[in-house]
Amino acid sequence: MPEFGFPPQAASARINSVVGDLRKRSETAQVETVTGRHEDPAAALDGQVGELFLIQKALSDNGDYRRAIGLAEGRTTTMQTALEGIQIQIDLLLRDVTNALEFGNASVRETVGAEARTALGAITSALNMRFGDRGLFSGDAGDNAAIAQPDTILAGSLVALNGAPDATTAYGDLSSEFTFPGGLFETQIYLGGSGSAPAAQTAAGERIDYGQRADDPALRNVIRDIAILSLALDPASGLDDAMRGGLAEQALGGLRNSVPDVVALRSKLGVAEARIADARARNLAAEAALTISYNDLAGSDQFEAAEELKALEVQLQTAYATTARLSNLNLASYLG
Amino acid sequence: MSISNALNNAVSGLTANGKLADITSNNIANALTPGYARKVGSAQASILDGAGAGVRVAAVDRLYSDDLTRTRRTADGELASEVARSQALTALADLVGDPNDAGSLFAKYQAFESSLRSLADTPESGALQLNAVLAAGDIVGKFNALADRTRDIRQSAEGEIAQLVGTMNSNLEEIARLNRQIQVFKSGSRDASALEDRRESLVDEVASILPVKTQRMSDGTVTMMTREGIVLATTQTAKLEFSARPIVTPDMEYAGGSGILSGLTIDGVNVTPGGGGPQAIAGGALAGLFDVRDRIAPEFQAQIDAMAADLAGRFETAGLDPTTAPGSAGLFTDTGSPINSADILGLSSRIALNAAIDPAANGDPARMRDGLGAAAPGPSSNAAFPAAMLDALTESRTAGAIPGLSGLRSGAEIAAAFSELRSSARITSENARAALTSTRETLANAESETIGVDTDQELQQLLLIEQAYAANAQVVRTAAAMLDELRNLV
């Protein structure tokens, strides 16, 4: 008996296998067309997904650094604004106190004294400025205020000043209280921490330290001298009358000497701000480069995927059409 | 008398063609039955006292293609073995995760590192402290889940082995019974093709479980033995033995027979796949499942245990936390205790968060800033401890203690390398499975083309049978008419 034809079971198994493969590939092409990503990156990369993971991590780390940069920018801008305000207060006070001491009468001096007290309040507020949960000038004790209220500063200073025999000695005594460990400043006026606030990590291996504390020597001197001016120019302050004039003169000189130091603080902060701005630029460049690398590995060309989907669709239609036609080509269909 | 002889011959023709029609119709009915082989009736002239006496169907033969069938069964066994491995490797790789998976092990490491980085930048934030605790807890949860899944896979393999051994034993019994029955049928020249079909189907099932060699004997029986030469079934059977453990824990192993886990024997002969014995079977679903139980799952367990030890060890570094005594447990513990590097088997299921920072254990997340042993809150913006923990996690340390890894790597790099190992293993197995599937399909199709039913051929045969039947019926009518004529003469 001559052999001819093809067992239907074998034919069925063969076409099922082909159609199944076409359908699976169609589903993959569909997903890749829509998402632009490999449906199974492990299969697309033949299991070599380690590099893809690490690029993904680098992108995530870059995002962390960008957030840290944003926080640092906000904090430094606020600190710079505070220091600018302090510098303006100093400048105004220097002008007004100079005029009052040189040309003014008692009434003018009393007015300037009130101005000095207001300036002390403004400087205290500036140094107690917060950003989020952090006191910006409080060091590592960010939940504390940095500086005590003006009343506390003035009360403590008055005690230290009145104990001296003359203005020069009084100024020296108060300076010691503001300078040395355990003195008035460290025990009653400065409320922050002895450690520094954390530096900002702006890139792998790069930390930018922008922290400044209210117990910086420049700021100690400013607070000291403005406190003295507040007391010396106020006849009702309780300060010994014999020392007023001399103390005011010495405080004015001290305040004038503080200006370059405050400018230096602002410059140092400015340098940190510039480094942070530079870090942001590098961060954005890194983001772009990493995104390209990631897409090269993980991405699939959506247009190519769409073309493949179309081709598979045609193949499936052909498979179905030929199956239907061939299924009629059997002897049973032609026997009566 | 010659007219009566003609009548008898025609009747034998009707009978024989009826039988052939029966065979043909059975072939057509089973055209799509998997494993069905075409039956062919052998017509033979009958001889009585040296003279022709019509026709009979001497035998109904089942078609065989021994070479193709043997090769296809080998492919079945290899595929079944790879399927068992592939399923386990895919399940494990899926749980480890890929770059698209937000819940992958790597993503957990990445999130934890990111949370420490954020906390080091803003240590005063209670939300970030809690976030770091939750991220650490997520890693712990992931390790626990990986350990649970590994245990489940191993337990499942143990159960499936037991099930397949049961199936094998019952199939062998049935094959032996069919052998005996076919032997009787053949000796009585009866049609045993349906019994042979059933037997071949059972042999196919056995071959996918355990590779076998078969030999058809002249009496119709089939001798079946392992490729290593152990007889499984003739008219009697061998017995496979396996004792399944109700629970399989990470410390249990086969260890060449000296461990707690059972091996596989056939009538007392050790044939455990991968067991190293001289008659250890290779191939088939059983070999795949033993590989899962004794190599794949334990290897994965060792990897995740070593990774857990690496992670915990980074946070137990001397001097990292000045608020705790040297040797104290760090951020990650072994059920509350410091890690014992000499006892890390199963650590991935035991690893836990230090209770000092775990809100679920009345811990305080603020200790992520102040130190695990801090009795009171420290300076709110002190980032020394979070920064130290971040440095510990990102420090490049030797990864050689983790099976399959080497070099100096940070915590996240270890997670990435491990994920790549598992992905590669899964892809390799999937590729092997696809290739074996394709080979098996090709062989099955070739076998089907050789011994399967072609309906066109059967219908053509039926046409001829119909014609022959009609011819024999005409002979009967003619002989009867002739006999009637004779009667009318009388």
pLDDT in tens, B84-116: 999 999 999 999 998 889 999 999 999 999 999
CB contact under 8 A, B452 and A7: yes
Distance (Å) from the alpha carbon of A142 to chain B's nearest alpha carbon: 5
Distance (Å) from the alpha carbon of A282 to chain B's nearest alpha carbon: 19
* Chain B residues inside the 8 Å CB shell of A300: none
ipTM comes to: 0.86
Distance (Å) from the alpha carbon of B290 to chain A's nearest alpha carbon: 25
The full DSSP string for A29-50 is HHHHHHHSB-SSHHHHTTT--H
Which is nearest to B307 in space by CA: B272, B285, B339? B339
**Among A292-306, B162-176, B390-404, which stretch is predicted with the lowest mean pLDDT?**
A292-306
B34 touches chain A (CB under 8 A): yes
Q: Which residue has the tokens 């009736």?
A: B41
What confidence category does residue A12 fall into, taking pLDDT thresholds of 50, 70 and 90? confident
* Chain B residues inside the 8 Å CB shell of A74: none
| DSSP H helical ranges for B292-342 | 297-314
A111, two tokens? 């007015």
CB contact under 8 A, A37 and B100: yes
Distance (Å) from the alpha carbon of A159 to chain B's nearest alpha carbon: 31
pLDDT at A49 over 90: no
Model confidence pLDDT, tens digit, residues A22-47: 888 888 888 888 878 787 888 888 87
Measured between alpha carbons, how far is B414 from A297 in angstroms, rounded to an integer? Answer: 20
Contact A83, B450 (CB under 8 A): no
* Chain A residues inside the 8 Å CB shell of B420: 47-50, 53
CB contact under 8 A, A8 and B32: yes
CB contact under 8 A, B427 and A298: no
Q: Which residues pair with B265 in a beta bridge?
A: B241, B270
Confidence at residue A1, expressed as pLDDT on a 0 to 100 scale: 41
B37 touches chain A (CB under 8 A): no
Measured between alpha carbons, how far is B417 from B415 in angstroms, rounded to an integer? Answer: 6
Q: What is the average pLDDT across B53-72?
A: 90
CB contact under 8 A, A43 and B427: yes
B106 touches chain A (CB under 8 A): yes
Model confidence pLDDT, tens digit, residues B334-344: 999 999 999 99
- Residues 119 through 158 of chain B touching chain A, CB cutoff 8 Å: 120-125
Q: Which residue of A has its CA nearest to B417?
A: A50
Measured between alpha carbons, how far is B200 from B72 in angstroms, rounded to an integer? Answer: 13
CB contact under 8 A, B124 and A134: yes
Which is nearest to A40 in space by CA: B427, B72, B224? B427
Confidence at residue A44, expressed as pLDDT on a 0 to 100 scale: 82
What confidence category does residue B486 fall into, taking pLDDT thresholds of 50, 70 and 90? confident
Distance (Å) from the alpha carbon of B486 to chain A's nearest alpha carbon: 40
Confidence at residue B288, expressed as pLDDT on a 0 to 100 scale: 97
Kindly tell me the sign of the dihedral angle through the C-alpha atoms of B336, B341, B346, B352. Answer: positive
Measured between alpha carbons, how far is A276 from B138 in angstroms, rounded to an integer? Answer: 33
Q: Which residue of B has its CA nearest to A297?
A: B99
CB contact under 8 A, A141 and B380: yes
pLDDT at B158 over 60: yes
Average pLDDT, whole number, for chain A? 90
Measured between alpha carbons, how far is B382 from A139 in angstroms, rounded to an integer? Answer: 9
- The rounded radius of gyration (Å) of the Cα atoms in chain A is 39
Measured between alpha carbons, how far is A165 from A153 in angstroms, rounded to an integer? Answer: 21
Confidence at residue B231, expressed as pLDDT on a 0 to 100 scale: 94
| DSSP H helical ranges for B54-192 | 66-96, 105-121, 126-187
Q: Which has more confidence, B199 or A321?
A: B199
Distance (Å) from the alpha carbon of B459 to chain A's nearest alpha carbon: 7
Q: Which residue of A has its CA nearest to B106?
A: A53
Which is nearest to A255 in space by CA: A55, A48, A112, A71? A112
Q: Which residue of A has its CA nearest to B126?
A: A133
Selecting from A4, A53, A332 the residue whose C-beta is nearest the C-beta of B416 gives: A53
Confidence at residue A2, expressed as pLDDT on a 0 to 100 scale: 41
Which is nearest to A195 in space by CA: B331, B389, B372, B385? B385
CB contact under 8 A, A12 and B32: yes
CB contact under 8 A, B380 and A143: yes
**Among A107-116, B28-37, B360-369, which stretch is predicted with the lowest mean pLDDT?**
B28-37
Q: What is the average pLDDT across B175-191?
A: 92
pLDDT at B353 over 60: yes
Q: Is A124 exposed, middle or buried (0-12, 13-18, 19+ CB in 10 A)?
A: buried
CB contact under 8 A, B452 and A14: no
Confidence at residue A6, expressed as pLDDT on a 0 to 100 scale: 66
Confidence at residue B124, expressed as pLDDT on a 0 to 100 scale: 95
H/E/C letters for each residue in B24-81?
HHHHHHCCCCCCCCCEEEEEEEEEECCEEEEEEEEEEEECCCHHHHHHHHHHHHHHHH
Q: What is the average pLDDT across B394-418?
A: 95
Q: Which has more confidence, B202 or B256?
A: B202
Q: What is the average pLDDT across B173-179?
A: 96
- Give CA torsion, residues A127, A128, A134, A138, to 10 deg: 60
pLDDT-above-70 percentage for chain B: 100
CB contact under 8 A, A40 and B98: yes
Selecting from A6, A64, A141 the residue whose C-beta is nearest the C-beta of B379 gives: A141
Model confidence pLDDT, tens digit, residues A129-154: 999 989 999 999 999 999 999 999 99
Contact B108, B138 (CB under 8 A): yes
Measured between alpha carbons, how far is A252 from A255 in angstroms, rounded to an integer? Answer: 5
CB contact under 8 A, B416 and A141: no
Confidence at residue A9, expressed as pLDDT on a 0 to 100 scale: 74
Q: Which residues pair with B57 in a beta bridge?
A: B43
CB contact under 8 A, B118 and A64: yes
To test the contact with chain A by mutation, choose from B90, B94, B117, B124 the residue with the greatest count of A C-beta atoms within 10 A, namely B124
CB contact under 8 A, A7 and B387: no
Q: Which residue has the tokens 């001289």?
A: B278
Q: Is B107 exposed, middle or buried (0-12, 13-18, 19+ CB in 10 A)?
A: buried
Average pLDDT, whole number, for chain B? 93
Q: Which residues pair with A201 in a beta bridge?
A: A207
Contact B9, B54 (CB under 8 A): yes
Selecting from B124, B416, B420 the residue whose C-beta is nearest the C-beta of A47 gives: B420
* Cα-Cα end-to-end distance for chain A: 23
Residue type, position A33, single letter: T
Confidence at residue A305, expressed as pLDDT on a 0 to 100 scale: 78
Q: What is the average pLDDT across B265-272?
A: 94
Residue type, position A45, single letter: L
CB contact under 8 A, A47 and B424: yes
What confidence category does residue A336 fall into, taking pLDDT thresholds of 50, 70 and 90? low
Measured between alpha carbons, how far is B107 from B418 in angstroms, rounded to an integer? Answer: 13
Distance (Å) from the alpha carbon of B440 to chain A's nearest alpha carbon: 12
- Residue B231 gets the label, from left (phi > 0), alpha (psi -120 to 50) or beta, of beta
Model confidence pLDDT, tens digit, residues A147-184: 999 999 999 999 999 888 899 999 999 999 999 999 99
* Chain A residues inside the 8 Å CB shell of B387: 198
Axis-axis angle for helices B126-187, B105-121 (nearest 10):
170
To test the contact with chain B by mutation, choose from A21, A31, A32, A49 the residue with the greatest count of B C-beta atoms within 10 A, namely A49
Q: Is B2 helix (H, G, I), strand (E, B) or coil?
A: helix
Q: Which residue has the tokens 């989907």?
A: A309
Kindly tell me the sign of the dihedral angle through the C-alpha atoms of A10, A14, A16, A17. Answer: positive
* Cα-Cα end-to-end distance for chain B: 17
A29, two tokens? 């092409």
* Chain B residues inside the 8 Å CB shell of A41: 98-100
Cα dist from A261 to A177, A217, A265, A271, whole Å: 20, 9, 6, 15
Find the largest Cα–Cα distance for chain B. Answer: 137
pLDDT-above-90 percentage for chain B: 81
Selecting from A7, A197, A331 the residue whose C-beta is nearest the C-beta of B449 gives: A7
CB contact under 8 A, B445 and A14: yes
* CB–CB contacts below 8 A, A to B: 172
* Chain B residues inside the 8 Å CB shell of A53: 99, 106, 415-416, 419-420
